[in-house]
Every structure is written in structure tokens, then in C-alpha cells.
């Protein structure tokens, strides 16, 4: 656990909302990373972050202090985001990526970066989320497995397949050449 | 672009996206605290429903009853919708052999770039613990691993070499023009 984190969690358990506010400050970007990976929409992801921290506080007594706090928090956030996604799917057509800049202004390097970004964010959720947890949060396989509730072997196959799909998209767009 | 370059590009792309949201997350602490203070001031819907319908039942028993019902429904639905595995006969009978010896295994599959990392099941029809699949692969270099009861087995003794990927090993097989390794 990060220094001081256990104390903050214990104070929060005792009802200290200021302590929980400090937890929010420390983890809000990381939790956003989880929710945006699932929801692929900034506004929804921000709402989900807030709801995730509220939900986590309400369920804090379920948290096992011997476990890594961030992993538990990401699990709560992933569940909140998945619930929102299910509701959204019932109400709306699939969301389009809302974060692409104007390609006309992009240099070649920016074009490559944008192509990679679009390729990653257009992946199906089952590949996109493990990739975000691995590449951005730098979680290990067992942590990703805990957060998503899937087996480590499945995590690994999804990571490989996700990367293969990104590569295939980049080849298709002519950004990279296929290497066998 | 090699795997490591692609990994770096993916990492960079994700960082940019998450970095871009930083301004919108300003003040989130106050919003969460405010929302929590409001919620804590009044009983939740669940608490009110429980008081209304289950005044004498403890939350633990109510929860256990709900879980039992959900499990029963899940079992019935699961039996109805579980697909059967892909038969081995759908693959060519001559080609590259993939084999795992594990008498205790319940399920064995091979995943690799030849299948876009989708599992291809291995079978053990005579129950001797030798799980096999023969795939007809065009000549080339293939990265793969076995997944045995959900565990990643990256080092196949029959592999030509191993590579490190996502912090673990994957095997590599070079398939010649005859389709065999």
C-alpha cells in the first residue's frame, strides 16, 4: 500500500469524508482510465468516476485490507462502468469515439499516433479494457484478472489478440507494413 | 513496426487520452464528498424496501436467498445457451501438430497469431492425457501458447524458440512449405 493510504482507508471507514476526498484526489485519473476504457466516451466516463468513488465508499467495509487497494478500487470502477454501458446499450446506438482531433492538421508522426489511438479505442471492449489496464495502469496479469473477473490465461489471449487487431488496423491503413 | 515499438505507441496513445481528461476531473473530490454527504443523510432505497417488506429478515439471509435464486436461474440459462466446442474435424488432418501432455486437464487450447489469438481447442478422445490438434498452417513464423484450464503455458517443448511477451513467454514455430514444423 502507498504510504499513508491504509490510514486514509481506515479513517474513511470510520466516516471521515475528508480522508476519502484525499483517496479520490490520488486515484481519480487512474479510475478514469478504467471507466473511459469501458465506456469510450469522456462525459460518461467522468460520471462513472464519480459514481465509482461513491460506490466504493459505500462498500468500503467489504474491502480486505490485505489486498492491494487500487486493484479493489478498479474492480468497483469496472463494475460501475459496465453497468452504465449496459444501460447505454439498451438506450442508444453504440457510441462513436469522441476524442479524435482533425486529421487534416496532423503531421506524419501525429498521424501515426492518431491512427494508433483510433485503433486502440475502436477495439471491442473485451480487448480494449485489458490493454488499458496493462499498458496504462501497468497492472500485472493477475491484477487484471481480478479487476475484470476473468482468468489470467484469458487476459493474456485478449492482450495478444488486442495487439494483433491494432497491428492489423495499422497495416490496413498503410501506417505500418506487415511483418511476418 | 516491431512489437516493442507498437507497445510504446499504444502506451503513448492511452496516456494522451487520459491526460486530456485532467481538467474535467478538477474538483471531483468536492463533488464526491458532497454527493456522499447527501446520500448518507437519508436511507437508501434498499434499506427502505427492506424495512417495508422484510422487517424481520437480516440482510445476510435476504442476500443468500437472492444469490440462490440467481444461481438456479443462471444454471438453467447456461445449460440452454452453452455452445458446443469446435470439432477437431474442422481442421485439416495433416499439418502442424500441437500437443500437450496433461492427464489432469479439463480443457486445453492453443492460441496464436495464426488464429488471431482465439482459442483452438485440443482434444483427448481416448482420455490418456495427451491433448492434440493438427492445424494446416501456411509456411511462416507463428507465435503461440497453450491455455490449460485457464493457465497460460508459453513454453512448448516442441517450439523452435521462445519470445517474451506481456511479461511471459510465448512459443515460436517455423512452418515449412510442407505444412509441418
Which of the residues B152, B155, B170 would you substitute to probe the A interface, choosing the one with the greatest number of A C-beta atoms within 10 Å?
B152
Q: What percent of chain B has pLDDT over 70?
A: 70
Find where cell 469515439 sits. Answer: A97
Q: Among A51-55, A103-107, B167-171, where is mean pLDDT lowest?
A: A103-107
Rounded to the nearest angstrom, the minimum Cα separation between B8 and chain A is 9
**pLDDT higher than threshold 90 for residue B67:** no
Which residue is associated with the grid cell 485503433?
A: A119
Please give, one letter per residue, the 3-state secondary structure of A88-119: HHHHCCCCCCCCCCCHHHCCHHHHHHHHHHHH
Question: What pLDDT score was predicted for residue A51?
Answer: 95
Maximum alpha-carbon separation in chain A: 58
- Domains recognised in chain B with CATH numbers: 3-81 (no CATH), 88-175 (2.60.40.10)
Give Rg (Cα) of chain A: 18
CATH 1.10.1740.10 fits A1-99, yes or no: yes
Across chain B, mean pLDDT equals 78
Contact B29 A170 (CB under 8 A): no
- Lowest-confidence segment of A118-127, B59-68, B101-110, B132-141 by average pLDDT: B59-68
- Across the strands, what pairs with B134? B97
Least confident of A97-106, A171-180, B137-146, B164-173: A97-106
**In the numeric block, which cell numbers belong to residue A81?**
462502468
The Cα B67–Cα B45 span in angstroms is 19
Q: Are A17 and B36 spatial neighbours (Cβ–Cβ below 8 Å)?
A: yes
Where along chain A do its domains lie? 1-99, 100-180
ipTM of the complex: 0.75
Among A168-172, B18-22, B85-89, B127-131, whose mean pLDDT is lowest? B85-89
Give the pLDDT score at B88.
39
What is the pLDDT confidence band of residue A106, given thresholds at 50, 70 and 90?
Answer: low
Closest residue of chain A to B142, computed from CA coordinates: A180
For residues B179 and B95, what is the distance between their CA atoms, to the nearest angstrom?
A: 5
Q: Which residues contact A111 (CB under 8 A, 6 or more apart)?
A: A103, A175
A100-180 classified as CATH 3.30.910.20: no
The answer to whether the CB atoms of B18 and A161 lie below 8 A apart is no
Amino acid at each position: 500500500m502507498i504510504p499513508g493510504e491504509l490510514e486514509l482507508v481506515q479513517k474513511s471507514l470510520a466516516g471521515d469524508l475528508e480522508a476519502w476526498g484525499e483517496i479520490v484526489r490520488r486515484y481519480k485519473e487512474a479510475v478514469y482510465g478504467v471507466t473511459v476504457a469501458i465506456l469510450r466516451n469522456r462525459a460518461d466516463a467522468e460520471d462513472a468516476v464519480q459514481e465509482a468513488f461513491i460506490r466504493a465508499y459505500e462498500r468500503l467495509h467489504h474491502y480486505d485490507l490485505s489486498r492491494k487497494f487500487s486493484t479493489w478500487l478498479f474492480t468497483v470502477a469496472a463494475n460501475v462502468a459496465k453497468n452504465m454501458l449496459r444501460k447505454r446499450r439498451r438506450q442508444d446506438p453504440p457510441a462513436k469515439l469522441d476524442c479524435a482531433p482533425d486529421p487534416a492538421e496532423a503531421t506524419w508522426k501525429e498521424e501515426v499516433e492518431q491512427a494508433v489511438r483510433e485503433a486502440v479505442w475502436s477495439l471491442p471492449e473485451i480487448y480494449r479494457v485489458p490493454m488499458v489496464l496493462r499498458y496504462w495502469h501497468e497492472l500485472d496479469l493477475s491484477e487484471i484478472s481480478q479487476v475484470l473477473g476473468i482468468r489470467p490465461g484469458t487476459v493474456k489471449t485478449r492482450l495478444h489478440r488486442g495487439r494483433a487487431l491494432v497491428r492489423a488496423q495499422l497495416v490496413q491503413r498503410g501506417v505500418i507494413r506487415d511483418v511476418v | 513496426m516491431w512489437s516493442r515499438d507498437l507497445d510504446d505507441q499504444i502506451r503513448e496513445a492511452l496516456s494522451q487520452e487520459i491526460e486530456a481528461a485532467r481538467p474535467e476531473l478538477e474538483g471531483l473530490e468536492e463533488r464526491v464528498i458532497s454527493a456522499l454527504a447527501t446520500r448518507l443523510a437519508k436511507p437508501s432505497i434498499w434499506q427502505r424496501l427492506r424495512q417495508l417488506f422484510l422487517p424481520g429478515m437480516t440482510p445476510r439471509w435476504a442476500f443468500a436467498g437472492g444469490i440462490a435464486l440467481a444461481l438456479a436461474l443462471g444454471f438453467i440459462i447456461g445449460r440452454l445457451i452453452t455452445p458446443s466446442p469446435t470439432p477437431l474435424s474442422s481442421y485439416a488432418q495433416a499439418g502442424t501438430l500441437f500437443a500437450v501432455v496433461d492427464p489432469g486437464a479439463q480443457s486445453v487450447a492453443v492460441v496464436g497469431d495464426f488464429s488471431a489469438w482465439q482459442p483452438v481447442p485440443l482434444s483427448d478422445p481416448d482420455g490418456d492425457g495427451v491433448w492434440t490438434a493438427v492445424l494446416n498452417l501456411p509456411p511462416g513464423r507463428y507465435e503461440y501458447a497453450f491455455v490449460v484450464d485457464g493457465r497460460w503455458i508459453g513454453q512448448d517443448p516442441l517450439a523452435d524458440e521462445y519470445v517474451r511477451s506481456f511479461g511471459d513467454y510465448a512459443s515460436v514455430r517455423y512452418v515449412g512449405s510442407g505444412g509441418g514444423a
